[in-house]
Amino acid sequence: MMPRAGLLALLGASVLLSAPALAQNLSFEQVSRGRELVTAGDCVACHTPEGAKPFSGGRAVETPFGNILTPNITPDRATGIGAWSDDEFVRAMQQGIGRNGEHLYPAFPYTAYTKIKRNDLIAMRAYLNTLEPVSNAVDVNQLPFPFNMRFVMTFWNALFFTPGEFKDNPQKSAEWNRGAYLVEGLGHCASCHTAKNALGGDETAMEGGNLQNWFAPNLTGDKRVGLGGWSADDLVDYLKTGHTAHTAASGPMAEVIEFQTSKMPDADLKAMAAYLKDIPPSPDKKPTPLAADDAAMKAGAAIYADNCSACHVGSGEGLPKLFPALKGSAIVQSDDPTTLLRVILEGGRSVATDGAPTAPAMPAFDWKLSDAQTAAVATYVRNAWGNAAGAVDARSAASMRGALRQE
Amino acid sequence: MARKLPTTDVVIIGLGWTGSLLAEELTAAGLNVVAIERGPWRDTSTDFPTTIDQDELRFGIRLDLFLRPSQETFTFRNNLSQDALPIRQFGSFLPGNGVGGAGVHWNGQTWRFAKTDFRLRSHLTERYGAKFLPEDMTIEDWGVTQEELEPFFDRFEYISGVSGKAGNIKGEKIAGGNVFEDPRARDYPLPPLETTYAMKLFDEAAKGMGYHPFPRPGANASRSYTNPFGVTMGACTYCGFCERFGCGNYSKGTPQTAVLPVLIRRPNFEARTLCEVLHINKDGSGKRATGVTYIDAQGEEWEQPADIVLVCAYGLHNVRMLLLSGIGKPYDPKTGEGVVGRNYAYQSASGARLLFDDKRFNPFIGTGVLGQSMDDFNGDNFDHGPLGFVGGSGISCASTHGRPISTSQTRAPGVGRWGADWKKQLASTYQNSTGISGQGSVYSYRDAYLDLDPTYTDRHGRPLMRMTFDWHDNERKMTNYIADRCTEIAKAMNPKSVSTNRLSDHYSVVPYQSTHNTGGATMGDSPKTSVVNKYLQSWDVHNVFVVGASAFQHNAGYNPTGTVGALALWAANAIRTLYLKNPGPLVQA
């Protein structure tokens, strides 16, 4: 009789052999590099609903046109991508075309993934093949007519999609090129940080974008609303730990840091920082700060002293690694005050990472401040201590309050 | 019938300071740890954020964060001749509840018990002779020395973020610190908190009389601070809502601000909240615990098997858990035999209230630890020979708070609780008054103890624990001696008037005094006079460790948490380095 361990090994082998073209990809190098790349792409975030098995799909991605459910990308042959060939996988990633030739929607960021090199995609596939196959059939397309007609994507692609793998810029360092590859490709930072036009195509790159009642800030070198005031080390700290001396990540970026950047190698984070720090500032639209004797500023100053100064302190400088500085903050001064209003009304918890486990949180003030008071304190912090940004009106606060109730 | 769960390496009863410190050490050592906590999960931003944490009515008066007597209470009597009655509203002491335990709502005062405390019977006998001690005083040596504990005091101070000024680093005395303290390896992690006007007046008066005042040490962060676990605390804002309150500013050292953020990230840690342990289970031999049985919020009973059981509830509740589980022999005051429940002790309060004409103390600027203290009359820092008593008190002028409701109740003698006179009095005294207080030792006696009540039971039908306690003459003498010293210093501060607070004739559980209940599961070097050995390991059931102020053989004139924290880390170290390698009794009886 065959020893039991041997029988199990044989069974295992037959399962592996039944998946086509798999064995060649299961080298240690392929799988471990693939895991790093899948992490750098944060695939797990969109492809895993809360509480579900990783990568089993079904999480709703909100778009202005309706919801799309993410597919199951575990190697289950019937409901996942186990039956796909490598070429089919590469075509989906680089061209946004599904296994049966259908167009995928750009909620799946193939507009960025098109830059990923083929050998990296093969490594990612190799890693995905090591996952536990989960049977979970997802009806991806939840869009209303006419957006549920996939052929409309042909026209969209013609307008907004430039396919093609990333090409190194020989004028720049290897580090810069690695950073550009990660930021523009796998990291798909522009998915959130670039505003979308009415058809969902990109506006000017990296000048910030509004989604899910958050504003993903400007990542250009602008000093007031972008990364101009950040050092490359700040950026590495932020991506690695979610915290710097002056700011903390919360909301969707907290998730990016938790699942993606905190797990990336330092060299990649440094490369991303080098590239991001090299994006020239967007055109300066710096408004004149409101005068201190403006009525909203006076009301805002009083509300700030009573409600905010215990943590963010009177000078707006916060406490290092605990309470973010409002003075000089890009989030506070962004033309779009969405995140500021959201955090005042709803509060927010910063991300916990191994490097910064504290995860301090801000309490909600929606029960305590009226719309007018919320607007006044937002206006105040946008224009105190050398900050400058447009006044916020009570209607914006009311509309954010309403939007948060819908969530 | 309890349903049986899979075995874990360690089960912890109670997730406060001691439970979280032990869980941190043992999960770091790779063990699977399940902590069972009968109260709710508690977190700074959701349970006591800055937007609500200064609600004095909710937290300070209605005691939102505390244990409800309907969940567990005690019966009380002053002496053996009385019938004990249940405490239906907690008064003189306030047990905590929920994750963080009393570590959430403490003031933060962090002291080290003195070298002499850990060998109190030997020390006092050596200095004054055995006959100097009252016959019914049952103080013991603790089986551990302050020198052994020094690294663990140090570690607790660095974990909890203590502000203070050292008075003795490796034997070198440092003026401005507590020159009476025993040698420490290094200074506190943070400099002292700011000094208020009242503290300054006290400091000058005390120095003028030849005493040695120093800033009171404690876990209110004077600066932003990142502890050895990488958890960051914020600088204190001196809002004055500490004791009875959670801190919304991440400024008070608590399990929440110091330990839990790293603990909850560990996959080998699990907390089960709103689950109450009913008893510890033992195997047929009675010498080994097999785990615990607990009841969840749905009323379902579960058995959690474990290789090690850590009893980390509030000190009093630790003792009851042992009594209910039949671990250790219950103490009998008639014969003096048995140990569980023996040497229950408390603290005594005394002091002086000062009223000035022309001062403005701004009492609303304060924090739990803030105060100027002196140890000239604490422990055995002064010659008791001519005085006819032992023990002593720390003496402090504190600026802990000026909270509206409680401050309005501190009134001059003869003034009512309401009406025009009261208002006038409050308006004129709020700014003009301050106090000097003594926090005194209470030593242990044959008739001060804990046992199971013969009459009253809890909602599960288990006997309540009975407390039998009163002041003894030694403590009356000591406390009144301290009251006189406080009054002398008060007079040197040149107030308009001074009133002296002395010890009441008999202890009462009604007015608030101190949540520093100690003893009952004491540590020592003999199973005849202690429940646990020097590593806080049960003499009788080797895989049970009982951690907390329940281990104290007596109570000193210091707040207990620094010593509790050090003992927890000391026990954790013993489990990690000794017990895991060779499970069994660490000290042969």
Q: Parallel, antiparallel, or unpaired for β B544-546 and B301-311?
A: parallel
Q: Please state, rounded to an integer, the average pLDDT across all residues of chain A.
A: 89
Contact criterion met (CB below 8 Å) for A175 and A136: no
Task: Determine the Cα angle at A351 with ends A347 and A352, to 5°.
Answer: 130
Q: Which pair of structure tokens corresponds to residue A235?
A: 């950026």
- Rounded to whole angstroms, the Cα distance separating A376 from A382 reads 10
What pTM was estimated for this model as a whole?
0.92
* Helix/strand/coil for A229: coil
Q: Where residue A1 falls among pLDDT bands split at 50, 70, 90?
A: very low
Per-residue model confidence (pLDDT) at position B410: 64
- Mean pLDDT for B219-245 is 97
In chain A, the N- to C-terminal Cα span, in Å, equals 61
| Structure confidence by residue, pLDDT tens digits, B474-524 | 999 999 999 999 999 999 999 999 999 999 899 999 999 999 999 999 999
Instruction: Find out whether A97 and A80 touch, Cβ atoms under 8 Å.
Output: no
User: Which chain A residues are within 8 Å of B265, Cβ to Cβ?
Assistant: 352, 354, 357
Tell me which of A160 and B529 has the higher pLDDT. B529
CA distances for B289 relative to B34, B305, B451, angstroms? 15, 9, 21
Determine the average pLDDT of the residues in B101-114. Answer: 97
At A75-110, the pLDDT tens digits run 999 999 999 999 999 999 999 999 988 888 888 899
- The size of the A-B interface in CB pairs under 8 A is 64
- Selected for mutation to probe chain A from B27, B225, B227, B232 (highest A CB count within 10 Å) is B232
Q: Does A305 touch chain B (CB under 8 A)?
A: no
Contact A310 B229 (CB under 8 A): no
**Which of A358, A367, A369 should be substituted to probe chain B, the one whose Cβ sees the most B Cβ atoms within 10 Å?**
A358
The lowest-confidence range among A5-14, A344-353, B270-279 is A5-14
Burial B311-343 (b: 16+ CB within 10 A, else e): bbbbbbbbbbbbbbbebbbbbebeeeebbbbbb
* Distance between CA atoms of residues A29 and A58, nearest Å: 30
Separation CA B575–CA B22 (nearest Å)? 9
Contacts of A364 in chain B (CB under 8 A): 51
Write the DSSP string, B355-408. Answer: E-SS----TTSB-TT-EEEE-TTSTTSS--TTTT----EEEEEE-----HHHHH
**How far is the alpha carbon of B237 from chain A, nearest alpha carbon, in Å?**
7
What is the distance between the alpha carbons of residues B150 and B170, in angstroms, rounded to a whole number?
11
Closest CA to B217 of B559, B515, B486: B559
For the stretch B354-382, pLDDT in tens is 999 989 999 999 999 999 999 999 999 99
Which of A13-27, B123-137, B383-397, B549-563 comes out lowest in average pLDDT?
A: A13-27
CA distance B166 to B179: 8
The predicted pLDDT at position A11 comes to 38
Residue B45: list chain A partners with CB under 8 A: 347, 349, 360-363
pLDDT of residue B409: 76
Going by C-alpha positions, the residue among A125, A115, A72, A74 that lies closest to residue A95 is: A115
Name every chain A residue with its beta carbon within 8 A of the beta carbon of B259: none
Q: Is the model more confident about A17 or about B239? A: B239
pLDDT of res. B421: 87
Query: Residue A18 has what pLDDT?
Result: 42
Q: What is the mean pLDDT of residues B458-487?
A: 97
DSSP letter string, B332-363: BTTTTB--BTTT-B--EEEEEEEE-SS----T
Task: Give me the half-sphere count of Cα atoms (radius 13 Å) on the Cβ side of residue A190.
Answer: 23
- Are B248 and A357 inside 8 Å of each other by CB? no
Predicted confidence (pLDDT) at residue B145 exceeds the cutoff of 70:
yes
Q: How far apart are CA A5 and CA A2, in angstroms?
A: 8
* Closest chain B residue to the Cα of A351, Cα to Cα: B261
Residues 348-377 of A with CB under 8 A from B: 349, 352, 354-365, 368
Check if the beta carbon of residue B97 is closer than 8 Å to that of residue B405. Answer: no
Which chain A residue has its CA at the smallest distance from B51's CA? A363
Q: How confident is the model at residue A150 (pLDDT cuts 50, 70, 90)?
A: confident
DSSP B83-113: PPEE-SS--S---B-STTTHHHHS--B----
- pLDDT-derived band at A275 (thresholds 50, 70, 90) equals very high
Q: What is the mean pLDDT of chain B?
A: 96
Per DSSP, B581 falls in state T
> Of B51, B231, B237, which is closest to A358 when you measure between CB atoms?
B231
Rounded to an integer, the average pLDDT of B392-410 is: 91
In this predicted structure, the answer to whether residue A25 has a pLDDT above a threshold of 60 is no
The more confident residue out of A79 and A64 is A79
Beta bridge partners of B163: B190, B218
Structural contact between residues B523 and B142, judged by C-beta atoms closer than 8 angstroms: yes
> What's the pLDDT score for residue A26?
66
Q: Does A307 sit within 8 Å of B249, measured CB to CB?
A: no
- B230–A356 CB contact, under 8 Å: yes
Say whether pLDDT at B586 is over 80: yes
**Residue B191, pLDDT score:** 98
- Name the band, by pLDDT with cuts 50, 70 and 90, for residue B212: very high
Cis peptide bond N-terminal to A146, omega within 30: yes
Active site residue B516: yes
Amino acid at residue number A124: M
A317–chain B nearest CA distance, Å = 13
Token pair, residue A70, equals 């993410």
Alpha carbon distance A167, A183 (integer Å): 13
Percentage of chain B surpassing pLDDT 90?
94
Check CB contact under 8 Å for A307 and B49. Answer: no
In this prediction, residue B388 has a pLDDT band, given cuts at 50, 70 and 90, of very high
How far apart, in whole angstroms, are the C-alpha atoms of residue B121 and residue B319?
A: 23
Between residues A300 and A15, the one the model is more confident about: A300
Using the predicted structure, report yes or no on whether residue A138 has a pLDDT greater than 60.
Answer: yes
Residues of chain A neighbouring B248 (CB-CB closer than 8 A): 310, 363
Residue A159 CA to residue A200 CA, distance in Å, equals: 11
| Percentage of chain A exceeding pLDDT 90 | 73
For residue A292, CA distances in Å to A123, A381, A386 come to 57, 11, 11
pLDDT value at A23 more than 50: no
Q: Which of B229, B237, B250 lies nearest to residue A322, judging by beta carbons?
A: B250
Q: Are A61 and A67 in contact (CB under 8 A)?
A: yes
Determine the average pLDDT of the residues in B289-313: 97
Q: What is the dihedral of CA A300, A301, A302, A307, to 10 degrees?
A: 80
Q: Which chain B residue has its CA at the smallest distance from A361's CA?
A: B45
Angle between helices A266-276 and A232-241 (to 10 degrees): 130
Give residue B113's pLDDT.
98
Q: Is B465 within 8 Å of B75 (Cβ atoms)?
A: yes
Q: What's the confidence (pLDDT) of residue A21?
A: 46
For residue A383, the surrounding DSSP H or E stretch is helix A371-383
Indicate the pLDDT class of residue A243, thresholds 50, 70 and 90.
very high
Specify whether the CB–CB gap between B308 and B9 falls below 8 A.
Answer: yes
Q: Does residue A17 carry a pLDDT above 70?
A: no
* pLDDT the model gives residue A201: 83
Of B224, B250, B261, the CB nearest to A357: B261
Record: contact B237-A359, CB cut-off 8 A: no
CA separation, residue B428 to residues B255, B423, B494 (Å): 40, 9, 18
- Please report the pLDDT score of residue A154 as a whole number: 81
ipTM: 0.89
Whether B117 and B180 have beta carbons less than 8 Å apart is answered as no
Q: Which of B212, B516, B542, B554 is catalytic?
A: B516
CB B72 within 8 A of CB B224: no
Task: Report residue A12's pLDDT band, with 50, 70 and 90 as the boundaries.
Answer: very low
